[in-house]
């Protein structure tokens, strides 16, 4: 039985709400949908300051943290959140990253079997992202006509691959798509997003087909 029917939203931690809003609007072409925790009534009830931003027809929440997050040393890492885009969109993202002085890698060709070109980068809080040009037109969840055309894959670190795959299959009803020959990365498929489960303490594979 397939329990998961669609992706509703996901959230990431940030150091600065205003900077996050500006970054996600300028780089991803997102739009602020709702701000929370910014008035006395919400704060009294314990609301953490956060903003929901619409990107590719889906909502991403940026939540203000109590502790400053340290920027990673690499543009690639886990977890990685991704979106699909067009050729023009890929070029626009790269151009928008320049004024932010954010390190990025790519566009890299043929990193994934489903991606023709991929751009890896971090947001100002160090959250990892990948924006890629899919090989098949119209792929990605909730395809739209904005800069981001859909939600891509979610890449997670897994201390126990077998246990993680069992969880995603039996609890969430995901379908196992493939296992790489070396068994270093496995990907489960469901109607919305691909999940790459990576073994802990292993460097990010150059390919997760």
Classify residue 43: in a domain, yes or no. Answer: yes
Please check whether residues 98 and 176 belong to one and the same domain. yes
Lowest mean per-residue pLDDT among 3-7, 72-76, 168-172: 3-7
Residue-wise pLDDT for 42-87, tens only, equals 888 888 899 999 999 899 999 999 888 888 888 988 899 999 999 9
Cis peptide, bond prior to residue 79, ω within 30 of zero: yes
Classify residue 97: in a domain, yes or no. Answer: yes
86, 59, 3, 130: CA torsion to nearest 10: 40
Classify residue 52: in a domain, yes or no. Answer: yes
Q: Is the pTM of this model over 0.85?
A: no
Q: How far is CA 194 from CA 52, 68, 109, 160, 190, in A?
A: 22, 30, 19, 18, 7
Higher pLDDT: 26 or 8? It is 26
Distance CA 32, CA 21 (A): 7
List the domain range (segments joined by +) for residue 13: 9-64
Q: What is the pLDDT of residue 123?
A: 95
Q: E-strand spans in the chain? A: 9-14, 31-36, 50-55, 58-64, 80-85, 104-112, 115-122, 128-134, 148-158, 175-179, 186-189, 194-199
Please check whether residues 84 and 178 belong to one and the same domain. yes
Into how many domains does the chain fold?
Answer: 2
Classify residue 148: in a domain, yes or no. Answer: yes
Q: How far is CA 45 from CA 20, 41, 42, 113, in A?
A: 24, 7, 5, 47
Classify residue 204: in a domain, yes or no. Answer: no
Task: Estimate the crossing angle of helix 87-100 against helix 17-28, to 10 degrees.
Answer: 150
**Residue 115 neighbours by CB distance under 10 Å:** 25
Domain ends where: 18, 39, 64? 64
Please check whether residues 93 and 47 belong to one and the same domain. no
Q: What is the pLDDT of residue 71?
A: 86
Residue-wise pLDDT for 192-203, tens only, equals 344 555 444 333
Distance CA 27, CA 175 (A): 32
CATH of residue 40's domain is 3.10.180.10
């Amino acid at each position: 039985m397939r329990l998961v029917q669609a992706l509703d939203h996901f959230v990431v931690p940030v150091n600065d709400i205003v900077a996050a809003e500006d970054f996600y609007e300028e780089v991803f072409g997102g739009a602020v949908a709702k701000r929370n925790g910014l008035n006395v009534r919400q704060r009294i009830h314990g609301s953490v300051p956060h903003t929901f931003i619409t990107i590719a027809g889906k909502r991403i929440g940026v939540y203000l943290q109590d502790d400053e997050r340290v920027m990673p040393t690499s543009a690639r890492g886990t977890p990685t959140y991704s979106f699909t885009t067009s050729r023009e969109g890929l070029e626009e993202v790269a151009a928008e990253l320049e004024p932010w002085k954010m390190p990025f890698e790519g566009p890299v060709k043929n990193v994934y079997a489903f991606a023709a070109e991929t751009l890896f980068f971090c947001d100002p809080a160090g959250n990892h992202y990948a924006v890629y040009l899919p090989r098949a037109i119209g792929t990605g969840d909730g395809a739209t006509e904005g800069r981001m055309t859909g939600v891509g894959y979610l890449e997670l670190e897994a201390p126990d691959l077998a246990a993680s795959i069992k969880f995603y299959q039996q609890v969430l009803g995901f379908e196992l798509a493939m296992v790489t020959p070396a068994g270093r990365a496995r990907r489960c498929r469901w109607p919305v997003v691909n999940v790459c489960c990576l073994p802990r303490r292993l460097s990010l594979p150059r390919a997760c087909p």
